[in-house]
């Protein structure tokens, strides 16, 4: 009994003693993100590593489903209960910045001496709102061409010789299409929604067009480039190279080609039975390479100065070249900065482990960001709904673009 009491007292004294020595409590940060599965495991291990290296900052990594994180962030911010920082979908950054709950990062970036020119400019542009920087890119991806090797070979085509121009894409798709067996040559996203909008933007940019004006205040897609992109889609459908069927044929092994995101490389690797390869998206005559991108951006919520500073320290660490090389190699995300793409470590990994990601990495420099406007979701809905009518042959391409222009300008006003 006495021995036990002695033990308890000793432990108590020790705990109190140690407590006084380390009276400086570490700053605790909550970090919300929607990275799941393998990505979720990688971010947890990186957070653990950060915590081990920083005695004064402890980050708690909290997962939310992708569909839930935005409403959850908005409720929490409204209730004054926001996390210290979050990894937000690219499309959410202007929305969150517009809510006034985010901390501007310009002064922190300057104080830390971060070289912003190493980041891809289009990725940084997403975070500019009212001439202030509200986030840092942390992960990205882009769209390129996927080819079903089995269908390609069966049609007498060579997957090692992918199409490089719009004309080649059209003719190969037509050769490969087999309507009797439900095989589509080139799968297009023809249902209304962001799926259509962000696929179409690639063709628009390739043809030299712009989606919105430079200051994001008016529609700019009703142009010669817009018309040629839309007419190209319609010609693919009319010639039988593509079809108006719902998105998903490529997953089922029923489409020879489609444009999709770099993240699908690992998914097709595990969830399908057909062999596939990837290539850069073919471009029109006189056009230019371009692709669309998605990904996540670190945003810091306004809080007390110590918390904001600590959150920035974590953000800086997570977007640092060394951390990013590990992150990209373990997740398959695209580089967010040039130094990652150029690093020997990353290049070796790419060539040895997943060469099918090479077209995506090479195209990252041509990736363009969707305009960072708060009404983007609504804008995408009206745009795609108008284009869909042209794809179904209900109205002319000219009318579709004009209607979309009127609707988009009304939203931007």
Partner 1 sequence: MNSSTMTWDSHEAETRFSLSRWLPRRWYLHLVLIAGALVMIAPLLWMLTLSLKPARLTYSPPYLIPTTFEWSNYVQAWEAAPFARYYLNTAIMAGGVTLGQLLLGSLAAYAFARLTFPGRNLLFLAVLGTMMLPFQVLLIPSYLIVKDLGWLNSFSGLIIPRMVSAFGIFLLRQHYLSIPKELDEAALIDGASRFGVWWRIILPLSRPALATLAIFAFLFAWNDFLWPLIVTDKPDMRTIQLGLVMFQGRYGTNWTLLMAGTVTATVPTIIAFLLGQRQFIESIALSGVKE
- Which one, 62 or 406, has the nearer CB to partner 1? 62
- The DSSP 8-state label assigned to residue 178 in this structure reads B
Structural tokens at position 265? 């490389």
C-alpha to C-alpha distance for 369 and 64, rounded to whole angstroms: 25
* Least spacing, CB of residue 299 vs partner 1, in Å: 16
DSSP track, 265-311: HHHHHHH-SS-EEEEPPPB-TT----EEEEEEEEEEB---HHHHHHH
- Which one, 192 or 294, has the nearer CB to partner 1? 294
212 φ, ψ (degrees, to nearest 5): -120, 165
Contact residues toward partner 1 (CB under 8 A) are 30, 32, 34-37, 39, 62-68, 71-72, 75-76, 78-79, 81, 83, 89, 141, 248, 251-253, 261, 263-264, 267, 270-273
190 φ, ψ (degrees, to nearest 5): -110, 5
- Which one, 81 or 345, has the nearer CB to partner 1? 81
* Least spacing, CB of residue 275 vs partner 1, in Å: 12
The set of residues, in sequence order, having a beta carbon less than 8 Å from that of 272 and lying 6+ positions away, is 251, 253
* Least spacing, CB of residue 134 vs partner 1, in Å: 20
- Which one, 83 or 94, has the nearer CB to partner 1? 83
DSSP track, 36-70: -HHHHHHHHHHHHHHHHH-TTEEEEEEE--HHHHH
Structural tokens at position 388? 């869909």
Structural tokens at position 328? 């990209």
- Which one, 151 or 401, has the nearer CB to partner 1? 151
- β-partners of residue 28 are 58
The answer to whether the beta carbons of residues 250 and 148 sit under 8 Å apart is yes
* Least spacing, CB of residue 248 vs partner 1, in Å: 8
DSSP track, 184-237: EEEE---SSSHHHHHHHHHHHHHTT--SB-TTSSSB--SSHHHHHHHHHHHHHH
- Which one, 274 or 349, has the nearer CB to partner 1? 274
- Which one, 66 or 392, has the nearer CB to partner 1? 66
Q: Are strands 136-148 and 128-129 parallel, antiparallel or unpaired?
A: unpaired
- Which one, 64 or 327, has the nearer CB to partner 1? 64
Of the candidates 74, 103, 90, the one whose C-alpha atom is nearest the C-alpha of residue 372 is 90
- Which one, 36 or 168, has the nearer CB to partner 1? 36
* Least spacing, CB of residue 64 vs partner 1, in Å: 8
- The DSSP 8-state label assigned to residue 334 in this structure reads B
- Which one, 76 or 411, has the nearer CB to partner 1? 76
- Which one, 26 or 71, has the nearer CB to partner 1? 71
C-alpha to C-alpha distance for 35 and 339, rounded to whole angstroms: 24
* Least spacing, CB of residue 104 vs partner 1, in Å: 25
* Least spacing, CB of residue 271 vs partner 1, in Å: 5
Burial tier of 125 (Cβ tally within 10 Å: 0-12, 13-18, 19+): middle
Q: How many CA atoms lie within 13 A of 139 on its CB side?
A: 24
Structural tokens at position 169? 């894409």
User: In 10 A of CB 322, how many CB atoms?
Assistant: 12
* Least spacing, CB of residue 262 vs partner 1, in Å: 9
* Least spacing, CB of residue 296 vs partner 1, in Å: 8
* Least spacing, CB of residue 409 vs partner 1, in Å: 30
């Amino acid at each position: 009994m006495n021995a036990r009491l002695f033990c308890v007292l000793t432990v108590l004294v020790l705990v109190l003693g140690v407590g006084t020595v380390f009276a400086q409590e570490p700053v605790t940060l909550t970090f919300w993100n929607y990275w799941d599965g393998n990505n979720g495991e990688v971010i947890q291990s990186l957070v653990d590593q950060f915590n081990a290296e920083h005695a004064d900052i402890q980050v708690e990594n909290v997962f939310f489903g992708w569909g839930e994180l935005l409403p959850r962030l908005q409720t929490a911010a409204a209730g004054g209960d926001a996390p210290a920082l979050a990894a937000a979908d690219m499309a959410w950054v202007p929305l969150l910045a517009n809510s006034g709950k985010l901390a501007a990062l310009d002064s922190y970036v300057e104080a830390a001496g971060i070289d912003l020119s190493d980041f891809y400019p289009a990725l940084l542009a997403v975070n500019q709102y009212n001439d202030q920087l509200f986030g840092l890119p942390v992960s990205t991806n882009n769209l390129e061409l996927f080819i079903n090797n089995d269908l390609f070979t069966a049609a007498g085509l060579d997957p090692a010789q992918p199409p490089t121009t719009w004309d080649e894409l059209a003719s190969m798709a037509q050769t490969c299409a087999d309507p009797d067996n439900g095989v589509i040559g080139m799968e297009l996203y023809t249902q209304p929604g962001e799926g259509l909008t962000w696929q179409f933007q690639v063709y628009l940019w390739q043809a030299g067009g712009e989606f919105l004006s430079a200051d994001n205040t008016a529609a700019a897609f009703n142009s010669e480039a817009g018309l040629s992109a839309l007419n190209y889609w319609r010609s693919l459908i009319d010639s039988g190279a593509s079809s108006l069927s719902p998105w998903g044929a490529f997953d089922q092994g029923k489409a020879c080609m489609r444009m999709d995101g770099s993240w699908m490389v690992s998914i097709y690797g595990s969830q399908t039975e057909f062999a596939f390869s990837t290539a850069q998206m073919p471009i029109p005559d006189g056009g230019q390479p371009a692709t669309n991108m998605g990904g996540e951006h670190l945003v810091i919520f306004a809080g007390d100065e110590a918390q904001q500073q600590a959150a920035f320290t974590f953000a800086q660490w997570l977007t640092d070249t060394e951390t990013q090389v590990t992150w990209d190699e373990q997740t398959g995300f695209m580089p967010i900065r040039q130094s990652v793409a150029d690093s020997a470590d990353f290049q070796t990994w790419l060539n040895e482990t997943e060469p099918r990601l090479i077209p995506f990495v090479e195209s990252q420099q041509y990736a363009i960001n969707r305009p960072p406007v708060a009404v983007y979701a609504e804008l995408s809905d009206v745009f795609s709904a108008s284009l869909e009518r042209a794809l179904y042959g209900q109205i002319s391409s000219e009318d579709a673009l004009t209607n979309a222009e009127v609707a988009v300008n009304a939203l931007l006003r």
